[in-house]
Structures are given as structure tokens and as C-alpha cells.
Structure 1
Amino acid sequence: MIPIETVAIFLTASVALALAPGPDNIFVLTQSALYGRKAGILVTLGLCTGLLVHTAIVSLGVAAIFQTSVLAFNILKTVGALYLLYLAYQAFRARATRLGEDTEEKQAWRKLYTRGIIMNITNPKVAIFFLAFLPQFANPAVGSITIQMLMLGALFIVATLLVFGVVAWFAGFLGEWIKKSEKAQTIMNRVAGTVFVVLALRLAVSER
């Protein structure tokens, strides 16, 4: 078992990292403001699902490939940047409208959840961050490193859910106002599109 002192320090660091302005929490904020709290929560769940994948990858040591292989790193970050540009294109051409009901609404919610997963998985820096961050809190003397890494990854996801959930909740107040104004929706779509472009460029120029 991981010592409780280590868990406390790790959770504190994880919450601080989740609070620091970055692509993921900005993404949650813009989507919550544009589509409401539920959208932000679904995007958060999608991002955390991606973190599950990264946790498994790091625990199995596969993330080391992205740290040592320039080609693998560049391929994944290119895919991620292109996807963000695709989201920017959709945001810029989106019309002011409310999410529909029943089937249309379920499809919209599903897209938001999937969007969070893809955005997180296609960012190789997340895997490399986990590879650098999680092992610092693992100790071979207290048990299996793989199990400890999985536990730490789960704790990081819990911290992310809590912080991003709060971000989504408060950004939802802005979303309630935006839904009442077509002009506000149009402006928010442009803002979201710009954010996606900035995130794409940031990812595209990132280095290991």
C-alpha cells in the first residue's frame, strides 16, 4: 500500500496541477459556457477516460516510446493538432442554436464526451507527463510499481474530476445566459474556435 503521507502529497500536487491554466481546463470552461454544465461534465468525463488510457500506458511502460521516439511523438501530436483544427472549423461555422432533445440531444452529449477522450489521448505530452510525474511517488519497497502507478493514476483522475467539475459548474452560469442570446452564442462559438486554434498551434510546436 502507498503510505498515507505520500497519498496526501500526491493529491495536493494533483489538485494544484488541475487548477493551473492549461488546455484541458480551458477546454472544459469553454464547452461549459457554450453548452451548459452537463456538457462540461461530459467533456470532463471524456478527458478523464483519456487519462485512464494514459495511466495504463504509463503503467505498462509504453509511454517511454513517445519519450524516446521522435517519430512516434510527432505523429501523435500532428493527429492531435489536426483534430483540434477540425473542432475549430466546426466552432467557426456553427450556428446559434440550442441543443435539441431526445435523439439529437443524446448525439450531442455523446460527441462532447468523445471529444474529451480524443483530445486527451492524442496529446503525447500527457503520457510523457504521467511518465515523469507518477514514478516520483512510487516506491518499490511498498509493493508492485505497476499497481502503485495504477493507484496514483486513479487518484489523479479523481482530483481532475473534482477540479474540472467545479470549473464546469461555475462556467455553466455563463452558459445559461449565452443560451438566451443568439449573438452571445455566435461570439462564444468564435471564442471557442479561437481557443481550439491556439491549442492546436501550441500542440503542433510542442517538443518532448
Structure 2
Amino acid sequence: MQDISLYLPGILLAYSAFLLAIASPGPNILAVIGTSMSVNRASGMSLAMGVATGSFTWALLTVFGLSAVLATYASALLFIKIFGGLYLLWLAYKSFKSAASSHDIEAKELAGGRRTPFGYFQRGYIIQMTNPKAALAWIAIISLGLQEGAPLWVGAMIVLGTFALSIIIHLLYAVAFSTPIMVRVYGKARRVIQGVLGAFFALAGLRLLTSRS
């Protein structure tokens, strides 16, 4: 690996963006929470693994897609970073708006009846892969870690690292939220969490927009 210190800050920033992104419940997280609470912990964990696998798929598609584009059009990195920066600023706006709202999270059981463990895994994968925001988020996350001329191992580290984090965090959601008390605890801290997310996304977005490499 050539000069890991040169690319490590971007890789860690991509990890941080990913971790904070999944700290804010979207359709995938709410599905995991709702399943753990309404069905059982094992079903929630199966769904969580499906979501994590879907996240891994999006990461792979994004890295290979951006790498192919950059291999042909090196100047495209500038436009990708502008897009990623604007999307992160939009996420910051959504987070600040959520922090100002009194609306709490709504975790419900999935429609369609009970499923086998593999059925919940499939459902989690479908939920993640059919979420259009996931593609946009991954472009922003990957663009935080990529620099002009970055070797392939940089993309590989981002993909494998976020996959490991995705498995750990989604399984933690399934285990922790298998009891209703955790939803109440999270609900009390929701505004603070969303405020922190908003600040991070705003800083990350500005970093991308002002980055020269």
C-alpha cells in the first residue's frame, strides 16, 4: 500500500460519515427496530444482516462505478465532489429540521405477515436496495474518501470497513431495540443526535466543496 498516511484521513472521514448516517433512523433502521420489537430479536437480526448486505452492495457498485468514471474522465472527480458536497449539505438541513421537530420515531412491524429468518434477510436486502437515497448517500460517502489518483486499495478499505461497521451497528440496533425501553431512551436523545448529525454533515459538505483533490 503506497503512502497510507496520505489517504487515511479521507478513509476515516468516510467511516465517520457512514456511522453518523446510520445513527439517524431511516426506513432500514426503523424496519430493524420494528421487527425486533414486534416479532423477536432473531428476526430483527436476520433483517439487519439483509440491510447490511444491501449496504455492502451499494458500496461496491458506487466504488466500481466511480472508479470506472474517473479512469476515463479524471476531471469528473470535481463534479462528483460538488454533487457529494451539496448532498451532504442537504442532509445537514434535514438533520437540523428533524432536531427542531417534536415528531418522534415510529417503528412498526413490517407488512406482509411473519417470515422465516431467510425471508427477513431478503426483506432487509430489498429495503436497502430499493431506497434511492442510499445511492446518493454512498456517492457522498465514497467521494469523501477518494482523492485524485487514489489506488484501488483505498476504495477496497472503504467498502470492507463500512461493511464491517454496517454489520456491527445494524445488529446492535436489532439487539438493543428488542425491548421498548430503548426506543424511549433513543427518543429522548433524538434531537441532540440529529443536531450533531447536522453539524457533521454541514462540515463534511463544506470540506468536499472546498477540496482541491
TM-score range, shorter chain: 0.5 to 0.7
Write the deviation string for residues 88-134 of structure 1: whole angstroms up to 9, x where unpaired.
Answer: 3x2xxx4xxxx7xxxxxxx6101000101111112232122212221
Aligned residues between the structures:
137
Distance in 2 of aligned mates of 1:116 and 1:125: 15
Unaligned runs of 5+ in 1: 68-86, 100-106, 176-208
Which secondary structure does the structure 2 equivalent of 1:20 belong to?
Answer: coil
Q: Does 1:133 align with 2:141?
A: yes
Which secondary structure does the structure 2 equivalent of 1:139 belong to?
Answer: coil
Corresponding residue number in structure 2 for 1:113? 121
Corresponding residue number in structure 1 for 2:51? 47
Distance in 1 of aligned mates of 2:25 and 2:122: 22
Distance in 1 of aligned mates of 2:148 and 2:15: 20
Which secondary structure does the structure 2 equivalent of 1:61 belong to?
Answer: helix
Corresponding residue number in structure 2 for 1:57? 61
Which secondary structure does the structure 2 equivalent of 1:172 belong to?
Answer: coil
Distance in 2 of aligned mates of 1:9 and 1:60: 19
> What fraction of aligned residue pairs are identical, expressed as a percent?
20
Corresponding residue number in structure 1 for 2:132? 124
Among candidates 13, 16, 24, match of residue 17 of structure 2? 13
Q: In angstroms, what is the RMSD of aligned CA positions?
A: 2.8
Corresponding residue number in structure 2 for 1:22? 26
The structure in which a higher percent of residues are helix is 1
Distance in 1 of aligned mates of 2:64 and 2:148: 15
Task: Give me the TM-score of the superposition, normalised by structure 1.
Answer: 0.56
CA contact (8 A) 1:25 1:164 kept: yes
Q: Which amino acid aligns with 1:25?
A: I
Q: Which amino acid aligns with 2:130?
A: T
Q: Which amino acid aligns with 1:7?
A: I
Task: Give me the TM-score of the superposition, normalised by structure 2.
Answer: 0.55
1:136-175 alignment, distance < 5 Å: 136-144=144-152, 147-174=153-180
